[in-house]
Structure 1
Amino acid sequence: MPRAAGRGPRPTRETGRDRRPTREELAAAADRTIPDVIASGLAVLFVGINPGLWSAATGWHFARPGNRFWPALHRGGFTPRQLHPSEQDELPGYGLGITNMVARASARADELAPAELVEGARTLTAKVRRYRPAWVAVVGVTAYRIGFARPKATFGPQPEPLGGARLWVLPNPSGLNAHFTPETLGAAFAELRAATGAAH
């Protein structure tokens, strides 16, 4: 079946999960989208800001080496071992999923216009109503503040629900976020896991 326009071929383990995209492949990945990892009734739906070029080139969420999402997920107690990005389709088996506020890939999240985040927040709300996760965890407080017009929002549980789900804001796991170490990021994920009761 042909893939939707704008999406490159989805790699498999046979293509080498540790193969690094070339500079040309990364450049060509700008503005691509990648499929959500999602199912109905998840315990937690994690929401990235938007795919990076590495993710768009590989088809795997949080794929760039140095991104700390997958280690934090394990440190936080959501998975029994650290998954490789290529194993993302195992997440629904743990009651977990991944989507993004903005679908198009860019080199950096700060390349997104505020209007894109606002529109992405509306799209996300509709998606949450459709799939009905128990919790939504937005990974990045700045994007959450802009998209949902909550300029004073902080990390942790939020007072208002999102599309019927309870809402939590986590730190951005990008390696560019120097405010959090792998240990403190893992602790933030563990706080969410304790609140949700989700565990492997």
Structure 2
Amino acid sequence: MSPDLSAARGKLLPDVLGPGLDVVFCGINPGLYSAATGHHFARPGNRFWPALHRGGFTPRVFAAAEQDELLGLGLGITNLVARATARADELTAEELRAGAVRLAEMAAEHRPEVVAVVGITAYRTAFGRKKAVVGAQEELLADARLWVLPNPSGLNAHYQLPDLGDAFAELRESLGR
């Protein structure tokens, strides 16, 4: 049975965070499907969970409902903007920039090694880096290294799943573990 998506508009999705994580993955904002289910990257067709596995972060492809198991692997999830929308283009540049400030506060509080923003266009807007590219960024966020990954949405035709897996693997390999 499909969740009621209309009731999810504007709903907030709790972060999956803890102190001292290796990587906190930062989505743009929850989609309506994710907000309705209460799980990050939950929409069928979103390739976050398969990319996470292909990148070597998880021993198998996790279901979105298993998101809390990431904490035991040193991983977390948050979003630039907390409110759920049908599409990321419903967000304003001001919301994205405010999300960058909130993300810096989260990084200072939880002290992850890396904050990985999942979505280059949102990153460019939120951080005012018009020419940013996927991969490691020069600046830090609090004391965390800052990384940009491609958006794993099924709507992102620029990256197929093997390419996403490679991008996630590059981040994992940078951890030196």
Identity %: 64
SS of structure 2 residue aligned to 1:122? helix
Confirm or deny that 1:171 pairs with 2:150: yes
Confirm or deny that 1:142 pairs with 2:155: no
Partners in 2 of 1:56 and 1:27 — Cα distance?
10
Partners in 2 of 1:155 and 1:164 — Cα distance?
20
Cα RMSD for the two superposed structures: 0.8
Confirm or deny that 1:70 pairs with 2:52: no
- Residues 72-131 of structure 1 deviation map (CA, whole Å, 9 limit, x = unaligned): 000000000000000000001000000000000000111100000011110111011000
Any stretches of 5+ residues in structure 1 without a counterpart?
1-18
Any stretches of 5+ residues in structure 2 without a counterpart?
none
Structure whose residues are more often strand by fraction: 2
Partners in 1 of 2:156 and 2:15 — Cα distance?
24
Match of 2:68 in 1: 89
Partners in 2 of 1:167 and 1:134 — Cα distance?
9
Partners in 2 of 1:124 and 1:192 — Cα distance?
19
- Residues 131-169 of structure 1 deviation map (CA, whole Å, 9 limit, x = unaligned): 000001000011111011111100000000011100110
- 1:1-200 to 2 correspondences below 5 Å: 19-21=1-3, 25-197=4-176
Amino acid at match of 2:64: P
Shift of 1:178: 0.4
Partners in 2 of 1:123 and 1:184 — Cα distance?
29
TM-score by length of 1: 0.87
Q: How many equivalent pairs are there?
A: 177
SS of structure 2 residue aligned to 1:97? strand
TM-score by length of 2: 0.98
Amino acid at match of 2:83: R
Amino acid at match of 2:63: H
